[in-house]
């Protein structure tokens, strides 16, 4: 944080002004991070300070230096060091807590399964041996297409054990999306399942995987199929397809020597929406990623081995990777894995699980909290939630009203609520209050963590004045940062980095403001990415699916604050924009992207607002959708369309 103070940030967020809520004293006394000097120390030591994070891990070979920044923006964290992620998440806990639960799983049908660290060790080893047997070698990318079942984290750890990077594809994504990701990652191994329950119905996941296999260019050398549904769904296995259970049984008791990976070697790739239609393959390196994730799990989420911790995010996205699997298991805690939905069998399901398991740290998204709020405080109020010590949120801004509701009804009015800002690309939390040190400001993500050089800048890269909107950038590398993109160095540099006078700056793609205390408020994306309902989409990927529908000519998609997807669509003059076109659009979104991409509202309009150069003014559509004031539209090529769109929005 060398430039602390330039944009009005004081060096020490623990001194934040009066509009802030201090950490509760009872919490502060026992918090992992309770000494405000940590900010000073990171500022004084530079990258060296991150040794604290690396020291939380077991290294097979000690690293030579903390950071090699000789070829920016290609940074190497902890070069020379060698380690294995599965050893750090499993083996090293065996001495002290082999019989402690690592994972408690709750299935959609009320099933339960528990794994101690010893159980986890046994199954990770058996599966690692099984995968090897099927031909998986170090550096082969294994694609995992599974819902929230224990076999998903186990497969991740088994891959990590043999040095095979995993590529988790969210189970709700379509066959087409899976095929694209298999090809892009050049992955010829797949772990999937027969199906899973959606509400009461057995849903066939295997047929989606089969479909993807037909569409993909890569040839699958082997597919492993988890039997999630038992007799509820019969799937037959082909020649190079193997049942997960029989594979693990065949190798039960075998121990696989963990492959020591270079700190800079790939741990996993995760495809995420970027500024163009095709998803980007974000690559995370083993040493930096795991260090940053472990450090933040301990210091931001304050998770300890004796906690029962629950991150409600799906493992198919980055939050589930970092704080559902690698974070909690690296610090040796007990983590809850929940397959079901929050309102089934009743709307108190989440509170029931928290009470029943004495969950002490709970981490979820504002989208989920808004639903809880809508359902009513009587649901959490029915339960004893006194086990809660800390609450976290992630994924989008949380309004002060929602923040206070969460604290009051889930946190007993006492627990710190930590708003954490980060991205698939940052790998781990980058902005947040350290809960035992820095006061909380509802609605503001918080100051940068120690060692994170985040600054809000204007078009010219100059820090903005407090209160002025600008672009959120990060001026120095951090350990959890993406190592690169699967699409290559050039794309990585172009997508994320600008070279400024004072060095390279990472562009987050978010707009933000900063206050006098250095607390950052996130204003939302400034690029073509939308975040709705805890999913991240590129407008382009949704729009290209919509224009693929017969009769549709143009489309623009925006997200609303309530988490709705609204599509503005024009049709050919000889096509009547009726219910059948609407249904076809929704169907196409589900096929091309996934069920969760169905539009909530489709607004037919004769034209879309465009600049004179023909660019669609998505920002203006956003303002119209949200019923907000918008500026002068006379410079549009077609200003007359704005009034029409406004009235159609009201009619939908």
- Please give the C-alpha separations between residue 67 and each of 305, 482, 492, 637, in angstroms, as whole numbers: 29, 14, 19, 51
Report the alpha-carbon distance of residue 586 to residue 599 in Å, rounded: 6
* Closer to ligand WTA by Cβ: residue 207 or 276: 276
Smallest separation (angstroms) from ligand WTA to the CB of 33: 18
Smallest separation (angstroms) from ligand WTA to the CB of 446: 8
Binding mask 272-291 for ligand WTA (x = CB under 6 A): x-------------------
- The phi, psi pair for 125, rounded to 5°, reads -65, -45
CB 364 within 8 A of CB 128: no
Report the alpha-carbon distance of residue 231 to residue 194 in Å, rounded: 10
* Closer to ligand WTA by Cβ: residue 116 or 393: 393
List the one residue from 264, 423, 433, 513 that touches ligand WTA (CB under 6 A): 423
Report the alpha-carbon distance of residue 58 to residue 88 in Å, rounded: 6
List the one residue from 11, 98, 215, 525 that touches ligand WTA (CB under 6 A): 525
Smallest separation (angstroms) from ligand WTA to the CB of 541: 14
List the one residue from 12, 536, 603, 621 that touches ligand WTA (CB under 6 A): 536
List the one residue from 107, 153, 324, 395 that touches ligand WTA (CB under 6 A): 395
Smallest separation (angstroms) from ligand WTA to the CB of 26: 25
Q: Which stretch binds ligand WTA (CB under 6 A): 72-80, 149-157, 255-263, 414-422?
A: 414-422
Question: Exposed (0-12), middle (13-18) or buried (19+): which is 614, by Cβ within 10 Å?
Answer: exposed
Report the alpha-carbon distance of residue 274 to residue 390 in Å, rounded: 32
Binding mask 354-393 for ligand WTA (x = CB under 6 A): ----------------------------------------
* Closer to ligand WTA by Cβ: residue 317 or 379: 317
Peptide bond into 440 cis (omega under 30): no
Q: Would you count residue 422 as binding ligand WTA (CB under 6 A)?
A: yes
Q: Which stretch binds ligand WTA (CB under 6 A): 41-49, 103-111, 232-240, 420-428?
A: 420-428
* Closer to ligand WTA by Cβ: residue 185 or 247: 185
Name the DSSP letter for residue 46.
G
The three-class DSSP label of residue 460 is coil
Smallest separation (angstroms) from ligand WTA to the CB of 563: 13
Smallest separation (angstroms) from ligand WTA to the CB of 512: 9
Smallest separation (angstroms) from ligand WTA to the CB of 507: 10
Name the DSSP letter for residue 89.
H
Smallest separation (angstroms) from ligand WTA to the CB of 650: 28
Q: Would you count residue 495 as binding ligand WTA (CB under 6 A)?
A: no
Report the alpha-carbon distance of residue 452 to residue 469 in Å, rounded: 20
Smallest separation (angstroms) from ligand WTA to the CB of 5: 24
Report the alpha-carbon distance of residue 618 to residue 636 in Å, rounded: 12
List the one residue from 241, 307, 419, 495 that touches ligand WTA (CB under 6 A): 419
Which DSSP string corresponds to 211-242?
HHHHH-SSPPSEEEEE-SSGGGS-----TTEE
The three-class DSSP label of residue 529 is strand
Smallest separation (angstroms) from ligand WTA to the CB of 273: 8
Q: Which stretch binds ligand WTA (CB under 6 A): 151-159, 379-387, 452-460, 503-511?
A: 503-511
Report the alpha-carbon distance of residue 192 to residue 206 in Å, rounded: 7
List the one residue from 205, 397, 513, 625 that touches ligand WTA (CB under 6 A): 397
E strands, 515-628, are 520-525, 529-532, 535-538, 552-559, 565-571, 601-604
Q: Would you count residue 319 as binding ligand WTA (CB under 6 A)?
A: yes
Q: Would you count residue 165 as binding ligand WTA (CB under 6 A)?
A: no
Q: Would you count residue 424 as binding ligand WTA (CB under 6 A)?
A: yes
- The phi, psi pair for 321, rounded to 5°, reads -65, -55
List the one residue from 85, 418, 445, 474 that touches ligand WTA (CB under 6 A): 445
List the one residue from 128, 149, 522, 602 that touches ligand WTA (CB under 6 A): 522
Farthest CA pair distance, the chain: 73
- What residues does 477 pair with on adjacent strands? none
Q: Which stretch binds ligand WTA (CB under 6 A): 413-421, 450-458, 611-619, 624-632?
A: 413-421
Helices (H) and strands (E) in the chain, counts: 22, 31
Report the alpha-carbon distance of residue 570 to residue 532 in Å, rounded: 23
Smallest separation (angstroms) from ligand WTA to the CB of 30: 25
Smallest separation (angstroms) from ligand WTA to the CB of 41: 25
- Please give the C-alpha separations between residue 78 and each of 34, 176, 480, in angstroms, as whole numbers: 26, 38, 11
List the one residue from 307, 510, 541, 588 that touches ligand WTA (CB under 6 A): 510
Residue identified by tokens 């741990």 is 267
Q: Is 293 left (phi over 0), alpha (psi -120 to 50) or beta?
A: alpha
Report the alpha-carbon distance of residue 322 to residue 197 in Å, rounded: 25
Report the alpha-carbon distance of residue 556 to residue 521 in Å, rounded: 27
Q: Which stretch binds ligand WTA (CB under 6 A): 178-186, 304-312, 493-501, 505-513?
A: 505-513
Q: How many residues bind ligand WTA (CB under 6 A)?
A: 22
Given the rule CB under 6 A, which residues bind ligand WTA?
A: 272, 317-319, 394-397, 419-424, 445, 508-510, 522, 525, 531, 536
């Amino acid at each position: 944080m060398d430039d602390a103070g330039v944009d009005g940030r004081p060096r020490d967020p623990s001194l934040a002004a009066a509009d802030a809520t201090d950490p509760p004293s009872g919490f502060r006394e026992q918090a992992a991070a309770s000494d405000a000097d940590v900010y000073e120390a990171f500022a004084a030591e530079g990258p060296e300070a991150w040794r604290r994070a690396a020291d939380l891990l077991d290294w097979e070979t000690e690293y030579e230096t903390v950071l090699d920044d000789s070829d920016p923006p290609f940074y190497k964290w902890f070069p020379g060091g060698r380690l294995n992620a599965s050893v750090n998440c499993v083996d090293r806990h065996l001495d002290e807590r082999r019989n402690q639960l690592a994972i408690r799983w709750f299935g959609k049908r009320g099933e339960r399964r528990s794994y101690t660290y010893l159980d986890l060790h046994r199954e990770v080893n058996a599966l690692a041996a099984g995968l090897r047997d099927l031909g998986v070698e170090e550096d082969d990318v294994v694609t995992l297409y599974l819902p929230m079942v224990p076999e998903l984290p186990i497969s991740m750890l088994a891959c990590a054990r043999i040095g095979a990077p995993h590529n988790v594809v969210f189970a709700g994504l379509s066959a087409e999306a899976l095929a694209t990701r298999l090809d892009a990652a050049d992955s010829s191994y797949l772990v999937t399942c027969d199906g899973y329950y959606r509400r009461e119905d057995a849903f066939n996941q295997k047929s989606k995987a089969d479909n993807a296999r037909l569409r993909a260019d890569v040839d699958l050398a082997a597919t492993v199929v988890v039997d999630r549904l038992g007799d509820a769904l019969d799937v037959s296995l082909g020649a190079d397809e193997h049942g997960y259970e029989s594979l693990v049984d065949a190798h039960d008791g075998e121990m696989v020597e963990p492959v020591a990976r270079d700190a800079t070697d790939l741990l996993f790739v995760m495809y995420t929406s970027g500024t163009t239609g095709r998803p980007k393959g974000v690559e995370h390196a083993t040493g930096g990623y795991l260090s940053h994730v472990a450090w933040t799990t301990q210091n931001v989420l304050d998770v300890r081995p004796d906690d029962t911790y629950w991150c409600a995010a799906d493992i198919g996205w980055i939050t589930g990777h970092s704080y559902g699997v690698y974070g909690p298991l690296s610090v040796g805690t007990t983590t809850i894995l929940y397959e079901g939905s929050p309102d089934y069998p009743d709307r108190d399901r989440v509170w029931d699980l928290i009470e029943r398991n004495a969950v002490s740290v709970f981490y979820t998204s504002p989208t989920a909290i808004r639903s809880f709020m809508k359902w009513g405080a009587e649901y959490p109020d029915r339960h004893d939630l006194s086990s809660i010590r800390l609450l976290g949120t992630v994924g989008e801004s949380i309004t002060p009203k929602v923040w206070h509701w969460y604290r009051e009804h889930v946190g007993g009015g006492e627990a710190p609520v930590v708003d954490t800002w980060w991205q698939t690309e940052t790998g781990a939390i980058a902005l947040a209050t350290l809960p035992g040190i820095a006061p909380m400001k509802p609605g503001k993500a918080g100051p940068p963590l120690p060692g994170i050089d985040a600054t809000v800048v204007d078009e010219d890269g100059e820090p903005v004045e407090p209160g002025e909107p600008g672009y959120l950038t990060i001026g120095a590398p951090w350990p959890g940062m993406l190592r690169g993109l699967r699409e290559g160095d050039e794309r990585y540099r172009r997508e994320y980095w600008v070279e400024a006078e004072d060095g390279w700056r990472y562009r987050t793609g978010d707009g933000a403001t900063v206050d006098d205390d250095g607390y950052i408020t996130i204003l939302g994306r400034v690029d073509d990415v939308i975040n709705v309902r805890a999913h991240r989409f590129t407008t382009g990927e949704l729009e290209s699916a919509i224009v693929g529908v017969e009769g549709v000519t143009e489309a623009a998609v925006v997200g609303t604050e309530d988490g709705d997807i609204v599509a503005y669509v024009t049709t050919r003059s000889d096509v009547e924009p009726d219910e059948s076109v609407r249904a076809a659009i929704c169907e196409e979104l589900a096929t091309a992207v996934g069920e969760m991409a169905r539009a909530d509202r489709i607004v037919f309009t004769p034209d879309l607002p465009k600049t004179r150069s023909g660019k669609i003014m998505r920002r203006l559509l956003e303002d119209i959708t949200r019923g907000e004031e918008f500026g002068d539209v006379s410079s549009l090529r077609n200003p007359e369309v704005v009034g029409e769109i406004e009235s159609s929005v009201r009619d939908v």
